Structure 1
Amino acid sequence: MPAETDLIDAGSNLDDRARVILDDHAGDALAALRTVIADAEFLFDQLETALMLISPGLVRGWKPKFQREDGPRSR
């Protein structure tokens, strides 16, 4: 994502964050989705790598989840 997106306040609501991402892509929803999907794939890969490298003793048996429990959000 463009640099401005890195500055999105994590406390802001989803609509505000979505607007920032769309604005960063000049309103092109398809380009925005491509970026979000690419970021999600990158973070998934990072999570898989971390899972393989982190000692179970370090995190006291905690394992990351690869999907949200509440499922995808739709409107």
Structure 2
Amino acid sequence: MNAISKQPEDEINEALAYHQGDVRATIAALLAEREFLLREIEYASLAMSYGFARGWKPGQQKFAR
């Protein structure tokens, strides 16, 4: 099964199974990954020219903490 055809319930079950059913560990890992991705977006926006993205810049309002 590829990532496109997965249902949200399947992904939730996989994440929980990876952490042996520990909900708090699963949430902590997801939050850590979210912070990493937010940093990556910030770095990409610094490196990306305004014309390259046709004026689009990532906004923190979409990724509110």
**TM above 0.5:** yes
- What corresponds to 2:38 in structure 1? 44
TM-score, normalized by length of structure 1? 0.71
Question: Which structure's relative contact order is higher, taking Cα pairs within 8 Å and 6+ residues apart?
Answer: 1
**Separation in structure 1 between the aligned mates of residue 6 and residue 59 of structure 2, nearest angstrom:** 23
**Separation in structure 1 between the aligned mates of residue 16 and residue 31 of structure 2, nearest angstrom:** 14
Number of equivalences: 61
- What corresponds to 1:3 in structure 2? none
**Alignment of 1:27 onto 2:21:** yes
Q: Which runs of 4+ in 1 moved over 3 A?
A: none
Query: When you count helix as a share of all residues, which structure comes out higher?
Result: 2
What's the secondary structure of 1:12's corresponding residue?
coil
**Alignment of 1:54 onto 2:48:** yes
| Deviation at residue 59 of structure 1 after TM alignment | 1.1
The alignment's C-alpha RMSD in Å is: 1.7
Q: Which residue identity is paired with 1:44?
A: L
Q: Percent identity?
A: 31
Q: Which residue identity is paired with 1:56?
A: Y
What's the secondary structure of 1:64's corresponding residue?
coil
Q: Which segments of 5 or more consecutive residues in structure 2 lack a partner in the other structure?
A: none
| Deviation at residue 53 of structure 1 after TM alignment | 1.1
